Structure 1
Amino acid sequence: MFTGLRHNVRVYALAMLVSTLPWAAAAHDEQERENAGRDPVVLTFSTVGDSRQDLVAFDPTTGPLSGQDKIWLQNTKALSRIIRSVESQQSKLLFFNGDMIMGYGLAGPTASNSVADVTGSDLMAFYRQYGFWRGMVAPLMEAGTYVVPVAGNHEVQSKPLGKKAQVENENAWRANMGDLIIDTARFKTIVGTDATNVNVQNNGGYDGLGTDQSQLSYSFDVGDAHFAVINTDPVGKDNVAPTGWLASDLGSAAGRGAKHFFVFGHKPAYTYYFGTNTPPNPGVSGLDKFPASRDAFWNVIEQYGATYFCGHEHEFNMAQPKGAAWQVLVGTGGSPFDAAPGEATLSPATDRTYAWATVKVRRSGKVDIDAYGFSDSFGPTKVLKHVTLAR
């Protein structure tokens, strides 16, 4: 695991206390009430990723899959509980960090117009799965939480074609998620404030990308907080973040006075090696497949003091890879855990936990990050970790 603390970041690791001391969660809630009086919250948002199910490699604790999950390939039990929790925390935004559908096919035209051909096609499967996921998150939009989608590899890549992103799948992403990215009128109605400096156009030219990246990598401001979403698997450059565009985007935000920088992508910059076996499990699964481009990306994160939220690994982990900026891995929205039941892991208390993070930006400029979760047996929700970033 990564170690190191920045001198101006205070870290409170509560996972062990919460699991062993009944009063710890209550104490955390009381501290929250005290903070609210002295330093009120001006914006709350949550983030999680990876809720898609797997018909074959499902997690033993959720299988055999229910009839609906076999069809829609969604962990409805875990995701619906997370959604209810995010709503109860009064988050104004939910960033969903990819792999909301199983996808992984080719969402292109069918070979013929026969009913059997159409209904059995990858295109139909993509749209069906998107539709079910959209239906699950729709109540959030009606209850005061705007859902911000992030493309994952299951949305943009085709497994039969070598786990490479395809233009057909990028187009299917826009067709199914474009109305959320960013509906400024609906955003203001739900969040209560404007999304400003919205940039959803094709930014692929910054990184030499050959396909339309509009609504795949995009950004916006809320007050003095800047939010950037990146596609970590663009066509032709899988496992590579659009660092050129991100550097320009964060630089522009800093120039207009942004004070907080939050970046959301699907794949982690640094793989979390949760296993204790040798060689380390799970092997390289993030942007570190190409260390030089990963390093360039992380240099931008560090330069602007940004926090990077991601998924892809079906694990929870919060770390400071270089001792300063945080990587918050919450690929724990319901997909089969990477750690097998009973496997020896570095963090046995949380390596099989459905988890999400909720972030509170306070009037003073202080930022609190709280990770919450519940076990694979669907036990009580606990505080997994609390981090306070300096002003």
Structure 2
Amino acid sequence: MVYGKKRPFLLGLVLLLVAACGQPAATQVPAQLPTAVVALSTPVVQPPAAPSAAPAATLPPAPTVVPSPTVAQSWRFVVLGDTRTEGLNPPDVTYAIVKQAAAAQPAIVLAVGDLINALSTPDEVRQQWQNWRAAVAPLGQAATTTPWLLPTPGNHDVQSGDWATGLLTEAFPELPANGPPGLERRAYSVDYGGVRFVSLDSEQRTQMHLLDDAQLAWLEAQLRDNPGHAAIVFSHDPAYPVGPHVGSSLDVYPKARDRLWALLKQYGAVYFAGHEHLYNHQIVDGAHQIIAGTSGSFVYGGFGGEFYHYVVGEVSANAITFVVYDQNGQERDRFTVP
């Protein structure tokens, strides 16, 4: 069985139900989930013309390097999916997941966008970010470095207007400004314990779902000049969506998406995304995509992976083992990437 495969004859009905109800699905998922291995195929969505952008003339500053364990020591990081605040605060399930995930004592925490559901005024959005940071603070108890909390922008984080993007970066002043010009603290890279973590901004309001030439040129430099060799790239949009966001993810611009994927494959990087409120792991043309899509937002039904979750990555000298847990702490999937 291929995990995460759509059910075409139910797809239209499911999409109507998701839009109308927005309720968690009750479908049971096996404790261990097989990984889907898929080959690339010709996109069926006709893309709009991608806005052109010239690569930056000079490279940005080097990635932030924080004190870290030696490669002989194992250590852990946690990945949270969409949490989407309910009003000013995260939903209750997010607090439960944070409590469970804190037991892993992560050194680094990735948050793959849609962390808040931005309200309509700057004062409200500032309060949402303050409350969100307080909610996830227990995950930093074992962290000995700054930054340890690495968010990437989601569409609901910046939906209220151009000013909301500024409030996102204002909320995380510790993030490095080493990304492409104009994307500082939204696209950035951080080195820790032999792993380079690279955030990409797929939610620029003038070109949603597009990783433009400048950002991809910057990414290539981060992957090529990487002394630790291992790399985790993360953004909000999946490159290969499996649920209701087919046609509203990186697949909107297949040429740019394919260039991203060629880089990930060439340098052996793993890609994390959110956006779709489900869990899914695919190996596409030899590169791993993990959709860690809900650590709080309502669960999409009918596409597989229908449970709240978080991911723990355990880094050893020669591999990273990924373990997926639900909100009750039950293991739901496990795989290792050399």
Distance 1:309 1:126, change over 3 A: same
| 1:359 paired residue number | 313
Query: In 2, are the aligned partners of 1:97 and 1:152 still within 8 Å (CA)?
Result: yes
Query: In 2, are the aligned partners of 1:137 and 1:147 still within 8 Å (CA)?
Result: no
Q: How does 1:53-202 map to 2 (within 5 A)?
A: 53=85, 69=86, 71-75=87-91, 77-103=92-118, 105=120, 122-144=121-143, 146-158=148-160, 166-179=161-174, 181-182=175-176, 200-202=177-179
**CA shift at 1:43, angstroms?**
2.6
Query: In 2, are the aligned partners of 1:250 and 1:261 still within 8 Å (CA)?
Result: no
Query: In 1, are the aligned partners of 2:111 and 2:152 still within 8 Å (CA)?
Result: yes
Query: In 2, are the aligned partners of 1:285 and 1:313 still within 8 Å (CA)?
Result: no
Alignment of 1:50 with 2:82, yes or no, is: yes
Q: How does 1:165-314 map to 2 (within 5 A)?
A: 166-179=161-174, 181-182=175-176, 200-204=177-181, 212-242=182-212, 244-273=214-243, 281-314=244-277
Q: Which has the higher helix share?
A: 1
**CA shift at 1:252, angstroms?**
4.4
Q: Which has the higher contact order (CA 8 A, sep 6+)?
A: 2
Alignment of 1:328 with 2:290, yes or no, is: yes
Query: In 2, are the aligned partners of 1:18 and 1:382 still within 8 Å (CA)?
Result: no
Q: How many aligned residue pairs are there? A: 273
| 2:7 paired residue number | none
CA RMSD between the two structures: 2.5
Query: In 1, are the aligned partners of 2:237 and 2:273 still within 8 Å (CA)?
Result: yes
Query: In 2, are the aligned partners of 1:368 and 1:386 still within 8 Å (CA)?
Result: yes
**CA shift at 1:250, angstroms?**
4.2
Query: In 2, are the aligned partners of 1:232 and 1:242 still within 8 Å (CA)?
Result: no
| 2:321 paired residue number | 368
Q: Which amino acid letter does the alignment assign opposite residue 124 of structure 1?
A: D
Query: In 2, are the aligned partners of 1:220 and 1:228 still within 8 Å (CA)?
Result: yes
Query: In 1, are the aligned partners of 2:158 and 2:165 still within 8 Å (CA)?
Result: yes
Distance 2:298 2:212 in 1: 28
Distance 1:176 1:282 in 2: 28
Unaligned 5+ runs, structure 2: 5-28, 34-70
Q: Which ranges of 4 or more aligned residues in structure 1 deviate by more than 6 Å? A: none
Distance 2:226 2:117 in 1: 39
Distance 1:255 1:327, change over 3 A: same
Deviation track 1:210-248 (CA, whole Å, cap 9, x = no partner) reads xx2110100021232111001111242211124543444
Q: Which amino acid letter does the alignment assign opposite residue 42 of structure 1?
A: S
Query: In 2, are the aligned partners of 1:313 and 1:338 still within 8 Å (CA)?
Result: yes
Distance 1:236 1:104 in 2: 20
Query: In 2, are the aligned partners of 1:239 and 1:287 still within 8 Å (CA)?
Result: yes
* More moved, 133-142 vs 260-269: 133-142
Distance 1:202 1:330, change over 3 A: closer
TM-score, scaled relative to structure 2: 0.73
